[in-house]
Structure 1
Amino acid sequence: MQLQTLCLLAPDLPQQKHFYGEVLGLPTQLLPTEELEVHLGFSRVVFRQAVPGTKPYYHFALTVPHNQLQAAYGWLAARTPLLPFLNGEPIADFPNWQAQAFYFYDPAGNILECIARFELPNATAEPFGPTHFLGLSEAGIVTDNVPRTGATLAKTHGIPDFCRGPKLPNFAAMGTDEGLLILTQEGRGWLPTGQPAEQHWLRLEGSHAGKSFTIEVGPNT
């Protein structure tokens, strides 16, 4: 499954543009709709102005080459503070998922993750840089009923449960190694901070098994 466009709300678009464009060195542009577009490999993230006084936040993950997680960690650490994982460890190890990751915030308070999935054939010998953010790996979907939302996504779009799991009453992963939907119950803590998940408007466009899909969650406010 491929995650192609993720649309989110943000309280301060100039701050977001500086972070993604100047700090991370990613291509950005302001659209005629007064939205900020950030290009990440095969994906893009589009930030729309949030209602003044609101501070929506989300979780999403970026794929990096599976042999460059340590290089990515060093590159990001020189540019922005990184978040410790459990017990202060810098790197999260997910053996069941054949993946490792680390986390950081953007100026809007979004919990970003860089993840290397060892099953993906994306190794490179080039020094790590902005072009090695290969695309969106995960998009967090916050819901008041994880099983019901998962069943709806499976029926409507044919999105499968992730073969590596898990599938729990308050948390589930759906999709493939290339792209995952992370379904979480409202109020459940996001890794690595434990910050309770909140549902805010988002729109996600992607494709699975040759078919395009669009998912929209929450009120557009």
Structure 2
Amino acid sequence: MIINKVTLYSHVWDEMRSFYVDVLGFELLLQTDDGFEIKAGESMLEIKKYHHKEKPFYHFAMNIPINLFTSAKAWAKSKMELTREDDDDEVYFSFSDAHSFYFLDPSGNIVEFISRYSVSPESEVESFSAQDVLCISEINITTDEVRALGNQLISNGVPVRKGEAISEDGLNFMGEHEAGSFLLLGPRKRRWIFSDKESEIFPLSIVINQKLEISLDGEGFMKLKPVKHNQANS
């Protein structure tokens, strides 16, 4: 599975644009009165203005080259404070053979940069910049209907990682392990590691494999529809 585009919502739209474009240096692809899009490797991240009283936040991850983890971490620490878990500012996931570090953006999103050693390539450069991000590789789908939505995704060609059973109480990695990109399907009130935040339901939209748009409303109900030609790259 390839995540082509992720659309999130923010109550601090101006701060988010400044953070990702001016501070981190991501390429700005489009800006309108209602939002902006940046290039994240082979993916696009769209941030839209949120016009309600809640303050939406999400967890998403970006894959980075396996030989640039140390450089990327130093780059990130020069721009902001990394979050910590058990007094560490990075983690190794033995099951996934991957290293990650985390930070919070102005919207309170839990952002993860991850090197997946078994699937991500090496880079020819030695010093990391935002242009070395490979893709968006994780985005949460939080809902009260975990099993029903999981079965919908499976029926649309998005399996649970390594054929695992759907867990209604846990975090389900939806996608092929070999592709290194996943939809993180889970319930509310799960604490996101490297943060003190618990998962909540907020609207979002995801385009995968250039052909399927997954939309979640503010109540956690999911809608699936085929994308129009070039919609993933609009």
User: What is the CA–CA distance in structure 2 between the aligned matches of 1:179 and 1:213, rounded to whole Å?
Assistant: 15
Question: Cα distance, 1:97 vs. partner?
Answer: 0.8
Aligned residues: 215
Structure 2 residues not aligned, in runs of 5+: 220-234
Letter in 2 for 1:23: V
What's the counterpart of residue 190 of structure 1?
A: 192
1:16 and 2:22 matched = no
Q: Does 1:58 align with 2:61?
A: no
1:48-87 counterparts in 2 under 5 A?
A: 48-85=48-85, 87=86
State yes or no: 1:203 paired with 2:202: no
**Residue 219 in 1 paired to residue 221 in 2?**
no
Identity of aligned residues (%): 26
1:116 Cα deviation from its structure 2 partner: 0.5
Partner of 2:149: 149
Q: What is the rounded CA distance, in whole Å, between the counterparts of 2:165 and 2:95 in structure 1?
A: 9
Question: 1:114 aligned to 2:113?
Answer: yes
Question: Aligned equivalents of 1:40 and 1:54: distance in 2?
Answer: 26
Query: Secondary structure at 2:214's aligned position in 1?
Result: strand
The structure that is strand-richer by fraction is 1
CA distance in 1, matches of 2:191, 2:129: 31
Counterpart of 1:15 in structure 2: which amino acid? Answer: E
Q: In 1, Cα distance between the equivalents of 2:163 and 2:92?
A: 14
- Distance change in 2, residues 1:61/1:15 (3 Å): same
Name the amino acid aligned to 2:103. Answer: F
Runs ≥4 residues deviating over 3 A: 29-33, 164-167
The Cα RMSD (Å) is: 1.8
Question: TM-score if structure 1 supplies the norm length?
Answer: 0.91
Which AA in structure 2 matches 1:215?
A: I
